Structure 1
């Protein structure tokens, strides 16, 4: 999503977000958790494939170029929340007056919880689907112990499925009910590759859910854009580099 910086002449700024993909009887319903302020820094770490030790415990050749799967990628994202702007107009933001930024923090935290029971929205949509004869009228969302599929959105070129690996909250100021009105959330995430999802297809009778298919497609699109950007960067410097080669 995009937001204006205030001036009518200023370009719109793309706002980062987490998008939770909830499965319901008639498809996937995205729940967007947009950042109030885009983080100023984003730390990324890539870990390439390392050959495992052999049966005798001897490490394999560290210089081997085998890469049976994409590098593992992890990110650390620091997200700031501040309720002061909303509190300046309490009549327009009654929820913020009551709970500060606790609702936004809770929305992020729920990305780590399995949907043990269908949500009110899911139940309502499921009931509507049954009334319309879609999906046979059965409960579309069984109880599960898996966390939801989550996309990390950082501009149009970086929309990747992720799993939250670490989560810490620094609550910095509070209202009279002791809800935080300013906080910093640091989220560690691991990018889930397309192989993570498609590996289940090798299991007999297994198939991807709609949310898993979206996630795998998003990952492939992000990798393809990396390839394009890499090709552009190489093409822009190839002549000067070739001039320095001894052959």
Structure 2
């Protein structure tokens, strides 16, 4: 079992949060990390003019950027059943399947879910049999809205872009008891969610609204941090001036 100094600060756990759509609204399903990744690789790609519309670099139009930069991350997540297996009576699921359930929960972030219309197909069928008119909307298979939570200041809507599992040890039933999962994620901006609307003025569904609010909050904090750094740099510069 992992030893921890009582004087060590309590560190928040990172997590993926899946917003499942139900009849009462989005219900969060939190998939917490057993251990926080030791590193987080981020890559930003600024907007580029299409090749057929490249402007003269001296023209102000060349600096036009209608969208935020694309941001991608690689997150390496480790799972280990050793702590649970030291107390098997308290963790029967881990004894049976090791860390396979934790890996499966991450994998399901890439599988589409069925979003019901105004009436489910069963209710619509009953209403049709009774000769009643319905406004049934066909069910849709869509990827769930997923948030990547890395501390209170960085909760971002994301899409899984790559997923690699390295299973490193197994129990007697060949379920993994130790594994390393490398997850590539792409941050989704407000423009992504609004592009799915029929009209720009249409309201966003509840889960998408939460995702956009999270993106705005994270972007706002980034701007505040940048402004703080600039102000500090200006103060340092002024202190060196001879007048």
The TM-score bracket by the shorter chain reads 0.7 to 0.9
**5+ long unaligned stretches in structure 1:** 124-137
Check whether the contact 1:52–1:60 (CA below 8 A) recurs between aligned residues: no
Runs of at least 4 residues off by over 6 Å: none
1:53 and 1:60 in contact (8 A); partners too: no
Unaligned runs of 5+ residues in structure 2 are 121-133
Superposition RMSD in Å: 2.7
- The alpha-carbon deviation at position 66 of structure 1 amounts to 1.2
SS of the residue corresponding to residue 145 of structure 1 reads: strand
TM alignment of 1:13-162, pairs within 5 A: 13-54=11-52, 59-61=54-56, 64-116=62-114, 143-162=139-158
Secondary structure of the 2:78 match is strand
How far does residue 143 in structure 1 lie from its aligned partner after superposition?
3.5
1:178 and 2:174 aligned: yes
The 1:244/1:202 distance shift into structure 2, 3 A limit, reads farther
State the shift of 1:62 in Å.
5.9
Q: CA deviation at 1:9?
A: 3.7
TM-score by length of 2: 0.82
> Between Structure 1 and Structure 2, how many residues are aligned?
220
Partners of 1:228 and 1:117 in 2: CA distance: 37
| Conserved 8 A contact 2:13-2:150 | yes
Distance 1:33 1:163 in 2: 15
Q: Using the alignment, how far apart are the partners of 1:54 and 1:155 within structure 2? A: 41
